[in-house]
Amino acid sequence: MIDLFKETIRLQHLLCKNGARKYYRFRSAHFYGGIASADCIGCMLDCVFCWSQKPRKNPEKSGCFYSSQQVAEKLISIARHNHYPKVRVTGNEPTLCKGHLLEIINQIPTNLLFILETNGILIDEAYAQSLAKFSNIHVRVSLKGGTPALFSQLTARSQEYFGLQIRSLRTLLKHKVSCHPAVMLDFLNSNDLKHLQTILASINPALVTDLEFETLIHYPAIDSELRKKNILLYQNKYF
Ligand code: SF4
């Protein structure tokens, strides 16, 4: 199994250069009622359900480098053109290139909300403190499964790292950064869900109320991988 931190460092060397980062697309998207979106390249996880496999698995060959100023300008322009109040960096994992990401947020006017969609793995005390300096930010932490074992099965990384996802929520709340968790319900049985809700409640009961349920997109390649890995799907019968 690939080590998560060695993979993080490998990707950072490849994708974060002189304050710039690789992106494969800039677009308007209908999520959040309309949002300007920059799709970055590179992630330290290898989720079986990832909808952005191609650029993620071919970072050397995909996309181009953009400075933080270029990314901020593109996001602002798309948002203004479409009258969107929100912008985001998404696609793969935005937190990989920390300095670059902070510089982008710094250039986003405060009347635009910056939504950081992340797996939370890299959000430690120092990262949360840096994010806390911005008033126009909301962090959505996308949890991979509800238990360490399921995390490992879904992400192809060691189960010990599930705790880092949970740490991100605790740390963000400690530093008063607006945030909420999300999880794909399709992979959780009732026990997994209860386990996750208990963990979230132990940090802050509001995290249970705010838990967002993501929906699995059934691309043929994803369904085939799920079958290959014998990953069970549940029918959301708990709601
Ligand atoms: S964390 Fe997100 S970008 Fe990374 S592999 Fe998983 S789904 Fe894809």
Per-residue pLDDT of 15-62, as tens digits, reads: 999 999 999 999 999 999 999 999 999 999 999 999 898 999 999 999
Query: Does residue 119 line the site of ligand 1, with CB under 6 A?
Result: yes
Q: Which atom of ligand 1 is nearest to the CA of 43?
A: 4
Mutating to test ligand 1, I would choose from 40, 52, 90 the residue with most ligand atoms within 8 A of its C-beta, which is 52
Give the pLDDT band (50/70/90) at residue 235.
Answer: low
In Å, what is the CA distance from 118 to each residue of 77, 180, 230, 232? 23, 11, 26, 24
Q: Whose CA is nearest to atom 2 of ligand 1?
A: 92
Specify the residue with its C-alpha closest to ligand 1, atom 6: 47
pLDDT of residue 156: 96
> How many Cα neighbours within 13 Å face the side chain of 224?
3
CA distance 119 to 166: 10
* Ligand 1 atom showing the smallest separation from residue 53 Cα: 8
Q: Is 43 in the pocket of ligand 1 (CB under 6 A)?
A: yes
Of ligand 1's listed atoms, the one at least distance from the Cα of 45 is 5
Q: What pLDDT score was predicted for residue 218? A: 87
User: pLDDT at position 175, please?
Assistant: 98
CA-closest residue to ligand 1 atom 8: 50
The answer to which of 76-85, 177-186, 212-221 has the lowest mean pLDDT is 212-221
Task: Output the pLDDT for position 217.
Answer: 86
High-pLDDT (> 90) share of the chain, %: 89
Q: What's the Rg (C-alpha) of the chain? A: 17
Pairing of strands 64-67, 35-40: unpaired
3-class DSSP state of 176: coil
β-bridge pairing 64-67 and 86-90 = unpaired
Cα of 28 vs centre of ligand 1, distance in Å, is 20
pLDDT-derived band at 236 (thresholds 50, 70, 90) equals low
Distance 144 CA to ligand 1 centre (A): 9
**Distance from the CA of 16 to the center of ligand 1, in angstroms?**
18
| Ligand 1 in reach of 93 Cβ (< 6 A) | yes
Q: What is the mean pLDDT of the chain?
A: 95
Cα 150 to averaged position of ligand 1 atoms, centre (Å):
15
Residue minimizing CA distance to atom 7 of ligand 1: 50
226's tokens:
């799920």
Domains of the chain with CATH codes: 4-228 (3.20.20.70)
**Residue 92 beta carbon below 6 angstroms from any ligand 1 atom:** yes
Location of structure tokens 């909300």: 113
Query: Considering the entire predicted model, what is its pTM?
Result: 0.96
Cβ–Cβ < 8 Å for 110, 135: yes
Distance CA 92, CA 212 (A): 19
Q: What percent of the chain is modeled with pLDDT above 70?
A: 98
Q: How many whole angstroms separate alpha carbon 94 and alpha carbon 27?
A: 16
Asked if residue 173 has pLDDT above 60, the reply is yes
Which burial class, exposed, middle or buried, applies to 136 when counting CB atoms under 10 A from its CB (0-12, 13-18, 19+)?
middle
Q: Which tens digits make up the pLDDT trace of 141-152?
A: 999 999 999 999
Whole-number Å distance, alpha carbon 45 to ligand 1 midpoint, is: 6
pLDDT digits (tens, 9 = 90+) for 93-119: 999 999 999 999 999 999 999 999 999
Kindly state if the Cβ of 165 falls inside 6 Å of ligand 1: no
| Band (219; pLDDT cuts 50, 70, 90) | confident
